[in-house]
A and B are shown apart, each in its own frame.
Chain A
Amino acid sequence: MANMEREDGVTRDELVQRVALMEAMIAEGRRSTARWGWIFVMWGLVYFVAIGWSFYLPYKYWAWPVCAGIAIAAGIVVKVRQKRAGNLIGNIRSRSIESVWQGMGTAIMLYVATAIASHHAGSPAYVAAILFFIGLAHAISAMILRWAVQAAVAAIWWISGCAVFFVTSDQSVVIFLVASFFGMILFGLYAMWLERRRAAGMVQAHA
Protein backbone atom coordinates (compact mmCIF):
# COMPACT_ATOMS: atom_id res chain seq x y z
CA MET A 1 0.00 0.00 0.00
CA ALA A 2 3.10 2.10 -0.32
CA ASN A 3 1.98 4.12 -3.32
CA MET A 4 -1.73 3.43 -3.64
CA GLU A 5 -3.44 5.52 -6.29
CA ARG A 6 -6.82 7.03 -5.56
CA GLU A 7 -9.66 7.20 -8.02
CA ASP A 8 -8.76 10.82 -8.76
CA GLY A 9 -5.18 9.83 -9.63
CA VAL A 10 -3.57 11.23 -6.48
CA THR A 11 -0.79 8.98 -5.20
CA ARG A 12 0.59 8.61 -1.69
CA ASP A 13 3.91 10.11 -2.81
CA GLU A 14 2.08 13.17 -4.03
CA LEU A 15 0.34 13.54 -0.67
CA VAL A 16 3.63 13.21 1.19
CA GLN A 17 5.12 15.88 -1.08
CA ARG A 18 2.20 18.16 -0.25
CA VAL A 19 2.84 17.70 3.48
CA ALA A 20 6.53 18.55 3.00
CA LEU A 21 5.59 21.59 0.92
CA MET A 22 3.22 22.84 3.62
CA GLU A 23 5.82 22.36 6.34
CA ALA A 24 8.44 24.28 4.36
CA MET A 25 6.10 27.14 3.49
CA ILE A 26 4.71 27.49 7.02
CA ALA A 27 8.31 27.71 8.31
CA GLU A 28 9.06 30.36 5.66
CA GLY A 29 5.99 32.36 6.66
CA ARG A 30 7.05 32.34 10.29
CA ARG A 31 10.55 33.47 9.43
CA SER A 32 10.70 37.21 9.84
CA THR A 33 12.39 39.13 7.06
CA ALA A 34 13.12 42.03 9.37
CA ARG A 35 16.76 42.82 10.07
CA TRP A 36 16.98 44.12 13.61
CA GLY A 37 20.55 43.37 14.75
CA TRP A 38 21.66 46.86 13.67
CA ILE A 39 19.08 48.42 16.01
CA PHE A 40 20.89 46.98 19.04
CA VAL A 41 24.25 48.15 17.72
CA MET A 42 22.84 51.61 17.04
CA TRP A 43 21.28 51.97 20.50
CA GLY A 44 24.43 50.68 22.18
CA LEU A 45 26.44 53.36 20.35
CA VAL A 46 23.78 55.96 21.22
CA TYR A 47 24.29 55.17 24.92
CA PHE A 48 28.05 55.66 24.57
CA VAL A 49 27.73 58.90 22.58
CA ALA A 50 25.05 60.37 24.86
CA ILE A 51 26.99 59.54 28.03
CA GLY A 52 30.24 60.85 26.50
CA TRP A 53 28.48 64.06 25.44
CA SER A 54 26.87 64.56 28.85
CA PHE A 55 30.28 64.19 30.54
CA TYR A 56 32.65 66.01 28.19
CA LEU A 57 30.69 68.35 25.89
CA PRO A 58 28.63 71.52 26.45
CA TYR A 59 24.80 71.55 26.50
CA LYS A 60 24.85 68.24 28.37
CA TYR A 61 21.08 68.33 28.96
CA TRP A 62 20.59 68.00 25.21
CA ALA A 63 22.73 64.85 25.00
CA TRP A 64 20.02 62.24 25.59
CA PRO A 65 17.09 63.98 23.82
CA VAL A 66 19.20 64.62 20.70
CA CYS A 67 20.87 61.19 20.56
CA ALA A 68 17.68 59.27 21.36
CA GLY A 69 15.69 61.43 18.90
CA ILE A 70 18.11 60.67 16.07
CA ALA A 71 18.03 56.93 16.88
CA ILE A 72 14.21 56.84 16.97
CA ALA A 73 14.01 58.77 13.67
CA ALA A 74 16.52 56.37 12.06
CA GLY A 75 14.49 53.37 13.25
CA ILE A 76 11.26 54.81 11.83
CA VAL A 77 12.87 55.67 8.47
CA VAL A 78 14.31 52.16 8.05
CA LYS A 79 11.01 50.52 9.02
CA VAL A 80 9.01 52.65 6.57
CA ARG A 81 11.52 51.84 3.79
CA GLN A 82 11.32 48.11 4.55
CA LYS A 83 7.52 48.29 4.49
CA ARG A 84 7.51 50.14 1.18
CA ALA A 85 9.83 47.54 -0.29
CA GLY A 86 7.38 44.83 0.80
CA ASN A 87 10.08 43.22 2.94
CA LEU A 88 8.36 43.64 6.28
CA ILE A 89 5.97 40.75 6.74
CA GLY A 90 4.25 40.79 10.10
CA ASN A 91 3.41 37.68 12.05
CA ILE A 92 2.21 37.28 15.62
CA ARG A 93 5.66 36.50 16.99
CA SER A 94 7.43 39.45 15.38
CA ARG A 95 4.59 41.78 16.47
CA SER A 96 4.81 40.47 20.05
CA ILE A 97 8.53 41.17 20.22
CA GLU A 98 8.15 44.56 18.58
CA SER A 99 5.44 45.45 21.11
CA VAL A 100 7.68 44.50 24.03
CA TRP A 101 10.48 46.76 22.78
CA GLN A 102 8.16 49.64 21.92
CA GLY A 103 6.58 49.41 25.37
CA MET A 104 9.99 49.28 27.02
CA GLY A 105 11.23 52.25 24.98
CA THR A 106 8.20 54.34 25.86
CA ALA A 107 8.50 53.43 29.55
CA ILE A 108 12.20 54.37 29.64
CA MET A 109 11.60 57.66 27.89
CA LEU A 110 8.82 58.61 30.33
CA TYR A 111 10.92 57.44 33.27
CA VAL A 112 14.05 59.33 32.23
CA ALA A 113 12.17 62.52 31.30
CA THR A 114 10.25 62.54 34.60
CA ALA A 115 13.36 61.73 36.65
CA ILE A 116 15.35 64.53 34.99
CA ALA A 117 12.50 67.03 35.37
CA SER A 118 12.09 66.20 39.07
CA HIS A 119 15.88 66.11 39.74
CA HIS A 120 15.87 62.42 40.65
CA ALA A 121 18.19 61.33 37.83
CA GLY A 122 21.76 60.22 38.39
CA SER A 123 21.51 58.07 41.50
CA PRO A 124 22.50 54.37 41.32
CA ALA A 125 18.85 53.38 41.88
CA TYR A 126 17.85 55.51 38.89
CA VAL A 127 20.44 53.77 36.67
CA ALA A 128 19.47 50.36 38.09
CA ALA A 129 15.84 50.83 37.01
CA ILE A 130 16.93 51.50 33.42
CA LEU A 131 19.14 48.39 33.46
CA PHE A 132 16.21 46.30 34.74
CA PHE A 133 13.86 47.77 32.08
CA ILE A 134 16.23 46.77 29.27
CA GLY A 135 16.91 43.37 30.86
CA LEU A 136 13.16 42.76 31.07
CA ALA A 137 12.65 43.42 27.34
CA HIS A 138 15.54 41.09 26.48
CA ALA A 139 14.17 38.40 28.82
CA ILE A 140 10.66 38.51 27.30
CA SER A 141 12.11 38.40 23.78
CA ALA A 142 14.30 35.46 24.80
CA MET A 143 11.26 33.60 26.16
CA ILE A 144 9.20 34.25 23.03
CA LEU A 145 12.06 33.18 20.77
CA ARG A 146 13.34 30.47 23.13
CA TRP A 147 16.80 31.91 22.51
CA ALA A 148 19.45 31.17 25.11
CA VAL A 149 21.85 33.86 23.85
CA GLN A 150 19.31 36.60 24.45
CA ALA A 151 18.47 35.11 27.86
CA ALA A 152 22.18 35.46 28.73
CA VAL A 153 22.03 39.07 27.57
CA ALA A 154 19.02 39.67 29.85
CA ALA A 155 21.05 38.20 32.71
CA ILE A 156 23.90 40.66 31.94
CA TRP A 157 21.50 43.60 32.23
CA TRP A 158 19.88 42.32 35.42
CA ILE A 159 23.19 41.46 37.12
CA SER A 160 24.40 44.94 36.20
CA GLY A 161 21.18 46.35 37.67
CA CYS A 162 21.83 44.55 40.94
CA ALA A 163 25.50 45.60 40.94
CA VAL A 164 24.87 49.34 40.68
CA PHE A 165 23.15 49.35 44.08
CA PHE A 166 26.56 48.64 45.64
CA VAL A 167 28.67 51.25 43.84
CA THR A 168 28.98 55.02 43.51
CA SER A 169 27.15 57.10 40.87
CA ASP A 170 30.24 57.36 38.66
CA GLN A 171 30.86 53.62 38.89
CA SER A 172 27.22 52.95 38.00
CA VAL A 173 27.79 54.77 34.70
CA VAL A 174 30.76 52.49 33.97
CA ILE A 175 28.62 49.44 34.72
CA PHE A 176 25.93 50.81 32.40
CA LEU A 177 28.50 51.22 29.61
CA VAL A 178 29.86 47.71 30.13
CA ALA A 179 26.31 46.30 29.98
CA SER A 180 25.65 48.38 26.85
CA PHE A 181 28.77 47.02 25.17
CA PHE A 182 27.97 43.36 25.86
CA GLY A 183 24.16 43.56 25.93
CA MET A 184 23.64 45.87 22.95
CA ILE A 185 26.66 46.32 20.69
CA LEU A 186 28.17 42.84 20.88
CA PHE A 187 24.74 41.16 20.92
CA GLY A 188 23.63 43.29 17.96
CA LEU A 189 26.75 42.36 16.00
CA TYR A 190 26.11 38.69 16.75
CA ALA A 191 22.50 39.08 15.59
CA MET A 192 23.67 40.77 12.38
CA TRP A 193 26.06 37.90 11.75
CA LEU A 194 23.20 35.43 12.27
CA GLU A 195 20.99 37.42 9.89
CA ARG A 196 23.66 37.23 7.21
CA ARG A 197 23.93 33.48 7.66
CA ARG A 198 20.13 33.18 7.66
CA ALA A 199 19.95 35.16 4.41
CA ALA A 200 22.41 32.66 2.97
CA GLY A 201 20.11 29.86 4.16
CA MET A 202 22.62 28.47 6.64
CA VAL A 203 20.71 28.73 9.95
CA GLN A 204 17.17 28.63 11.30
CA ALA A 205 15.79 32.07 12.04
CA HIS A 206 15.05 33.24 15.57
CA ALA A 207 12.48 35.87 14.69
Chain B
Amino acid sequence: MPEMPELDPVVHGKLRLAVLSLLVGVEEADFTWLRDKTGSTDGNLGAQMLKLEEAGYVAMQKRFAGRKPQTLYRMTPAGRKALGKYVAALKELLGAAL
Protein backbone atom coordinates (compact mmCIF):
# COMPACT_ATOMS: atom_id res chain seq x y z
CA MET B 1 0.00 0.00 0.00
CA PRO B 2 1.52 3.38 -0.98
CA GLU B 3 2.30 5.78 1.87
CA MET B 4 -0.25 8.56 2.39
CA PRO B 5 1.15 12.11 2.17
CA GLU B 6 1.50 14.16 5.32
CA LEU B 7 -0.52 17.31 5.80
CA ASP B 8 1.51 20.23 7.15
CA PRO B 9 -0.18 20.93 10.53
CA VAL B 10 0.72 24.62 10.36
CA VAL B 11 -1.08 25.02 7.02
CA HIS B 12 -3.93 22.65 7.92
CA GLY B 13 -5.35 24.83 10.72
CA LYS B 14 -8.63 26.29 9.46
CA LEU B 15 -7.90 29.95 10.13
CA ARG B 16 -4.26 29.67 9.06
CA LEU B 17 -5.31 28.00 5.80
CA ALA B 18 -7.86 30.76 5.20
CA VAL B 19 -5.21 33.43 5.77
CA LEU B 20 -2.68 31.75 3.48
CA SER B 21 -5.35 31.36 0.77
CA LEU B 22 -6.17 35.06 1.05
CA LEU B 23 -2.52 36.11 0.98
CA VAL B 24 -1.67 33.99 -2.05
CA GLY B 25 -3.74 36.31 -4.28
CA VAL B 26 -2.56 39.67 -2.94
CA GLU B 27 0.75 41.43 -2.59
CA GLU B 28 0.21 42.36 1.05
CA ALA B 29 -2.73 42.68 3.38
CA ASP B 30 -3.59 44.65 6.46
CA PHE B 31 -4.45 42.82 9.70
CA THR B 32 -7.95 44.33 9.79
CA TRP B 33 -8.64 43.22 6.20
CA LEU B 34 -7.60 39.65 7.07
CA ARG B 35 -9.74 39.76 10.22
CA ASP B 36 -12.79 41.01 8.30
CA LYS B 37 -12.41 38.48 5.49
CA THR B 38 -11.93 35.52 7.80
CA GLY B 39 -14.52 36.67 10.34
CA SER B 40 -12.17 35.95 13.23
CA THR B 41 -11.37 37.91 16.37
CA ASP B 42 -8.28 40.06 16.90
CA GLY B 43 -6.90 37.70 19.53
CA ASN B 44 -7.40 34.49 17.56
CA LEU B 45 -6.07 35.93 14.32
CA GLY B 46 -3.07 37.47 16.10
CA ALA B 47 -2.18 34.08 17.63
CA GLN B 48 -2.51 32.26 14.30
CA MET B 49 -0.49 34.91 12.47
CA LEU B 50 2.27 34.45 15.03
CA LYS B 51 2.34 30.71 14.30
CA LEU B 52 2.56 31.39 10.56
CA GLU B 53 5.34 33.91 11.18
CA GLU B 54 7.27 31.45 13.35
CA ALA B 55 6.98 28.86 10.59
CA GLY B 56 8.37 31.43 8.15
CA TYR B 57 5.24 31.31 5.98
CA VAL B 58 4.32 34.98 6.33
CA ALA B 59 6.32 38.13 6.93
CA MET B 60 5.00 40.95 9.08
CA GLN B 61 5.73 44.64 8.72
CA LYS B 62 4.50 47.46 10.95
CA ARG B 63 4.19 50.94 9.55
CA PHE B 64 2.24 54.14 9.95
CA ALA B 65 -0.30 55.29 7.41
CA GLY B 66 -0.56 58.91 8.46
CA ARG B 67 -0.96 58.65 12.24
CA LYS B 68 -2.62 55.27 12.13
CA PRO B 69 -0.46 52.20 12.79
CA GLN B 70 -0.84 49.38 10.30
CA THR B 71 0.27 45.77 10.51
CA LEU B 72 0.86 44.33 7.09
CA TYR B 73 1.41 40.71 6.17
CA ARG B 74 2.76 39.18 3.00
CA MET B 75 3.33 35.57 2.06
CA THR B 76 6.94 34.42 1.92
CA PRO B 77 8.35 32.05 -0.75
CA ALA B 78 8.40 29.36 1.96
CA GLY B 79 4.70 29.99 2.58
CA ARG B 80 3.88 29.62 -1.11
CA LYS B 81 5.86 26.39 -1.25
CA ALA B 82 4.13 25.03 1.85
CA LEU B 83 0.69 25.88 0.48
CA GLY B 84 1.59 24.27 -2.85
CA LYS B 85 2.72 21.09 -1.08
CA TYR B 86 -0.45 21.13 1.01
CA VAL B 87 -2.65 21.39 -2.11
CA ALA B 88 -0.72 18.54 -3.76
CA ALA B 89 -1.18 16.40 -0.65
CA LEU B 90 -4.90 17.23 -0.55
CA LYS B 91 -5.28 16.21 -4.19
CA GLU B 92 -3.51 12.96 -3.54
CA LEU B 93 -5.56 12.19 -0.43
CA LEU B 94 -8.89 13.08 -2.01
CA GLY B 95 -7.96 11.19 -5.14
CA ALA B 96 -7.23 8.14 -3.02
CA ALA B 97 -10.51 8.48 -1.16
CA LEU B 98 -12.70 8.74 -4.26
Interface residues of B in 10-36 (CB under 8 A from A): 12, 14, 17-19, 21-33
Q: Are B65 and A83 within 8 A (Cβ)?
A: yes
Chain B residue numbers with a CB within 8 Å of A89 are: 26, 28-30, 33
Closest B residue by C-beta to A8: B7
**Measured between alpha carbons, how far is A120 from B94 in the docked complex, in Å?**
67
Counting CB contacts under 8 A, is A15 at the interface?
A: yes
Counting CB contacts under 8 A, is B93 at the interface?
A: yes
* Given A18-B17, A89-B29, A91-B27, residue A25 in contact with residue B37 (CB < 8 A): yes
**Measured between alpha carbons, how far is A2 from B94 in the docked complex, in Å?**
10
Interface residues on B, range: 20 to 34
Counting CB contacts under 8 A, is B68 at the interface?
A: yes
Counting CB contacts under 8 A, is B48 at the interface?
A: no
Q: Are A26 and B33 within 8 A (Cβ)?
A: no
Q: Are B90 and A15 within 8 A (Cβ)?
A: yes
* Given A22-B17, A26-B21, residue A91 in contact with residue B26 (CB < 8 A): yes
Q: Are A90 and B27 within 8 A (Cβ)?
A: yes
Q: Is the interface of A mostly helix, strand, loop or mixed?
A: helix
Separation in Å of the A6 CB from the closest CB of chain B? 7
Chain A residue numbers with a CB within 8 Å of B22 are: 25-26, 28-29
Chain A, residues 29-48, CB within 8 Å of chain B (1/0): the string is 11001000000000000000
Across chains A and B, which 6 residue pairs bring their CB atoms closest together, nearest first? A29-B25, A86-B30, A25-B21, A84-B65, A29-B22, A22-B21
What residues of chain B have their CB less than 8 Å away from a CB belonging to chain A? 4, 7, 12, 14, 17-19, 21-33, 37-38, 65-66, 68, 70, 87, 90, 93-94, 97-98
